[in-house]
Structure 1
Amino acid sequence: MSILKIISKDFDIEERLPEEQLRNVLIDAFAYLIDNDFPKLIQILYKADVDQYKLKELLETVEGSSAAEVIADTYMARQKAKVETWEKYSRKN
């Protein structure tokens, strides 16, 4: 399972995007959701199991990044962690 495959369930993205481009696409998508569809933003973060307390703390303390950048980075980190966990346990079988 790849991070792109997981993320493409929430966003309409190409599954062969380099990670830096993926980050930029997600930043744009989260910026749009912040301004235009906050309930969907919350739903995506909830479904991804992003730690709301960690995200809130990051949004309050990270300087030099927009809210969309912080959310995109946190979302990507959570999805990467899921992939690592799946790979770890699928190798044991």
Structure 2
Amino acid sequence: MSLIKIISKDFDIEDNLSEDKLRQTMVDAFAYLIDNDFPKMIQILYKADVDQHKLKALLETVEGKSAAEVIADAYLIRQQAKIETWKKYSVK
């Protein structure tokens, strides 16, 4: 399963984005959710199994990035980790 395929379950995104474009799309999406639909953002992060304590620590300590960037990066890293786990345990 591809990263874009997983993310497209939560977001309406193009299926041929570069890694940089995908990250920027996620930053923009989370910036919008922070300002306009915080409960939906929490639901997406919960469903993606982003560690809330780790995310809170990142938001408090990371400098030079917006909250949307920190959240988008954490979300993307978690989704990528899921793919790696699926690959590791999938029947070959």
TM-score class, shorter: over 0.9
Equivalence for 2:47: 47
Q: Share of identical aligned residues, percent? A: 75
CA displacement, residues 53-77 of structure 1 (integer Å, 9 cap, x when unaligned): 0000000000000000000000000
TM-score (normalised: structure 1): 0.97
TM-score (normalised: structure 2): 0.98
Q: Unpaired segments of 5 or more residues in structure 2?
A: none
Equivalence for 1:10: 10
Equivalence for 1:59: 59
For 2:42 and 2:26, the matched residues in 1 are separated by 14
Q: Which amino acid aligns with 2:16?
A: R
Q: Unpaired segments of 5 or more residues in structure 1?
A: none
**Which one is further off, 62-71 or 11-20?**
11-20
Runs of 4+ off more than 3 Å: none
How many residue pairs match? The answer is 92
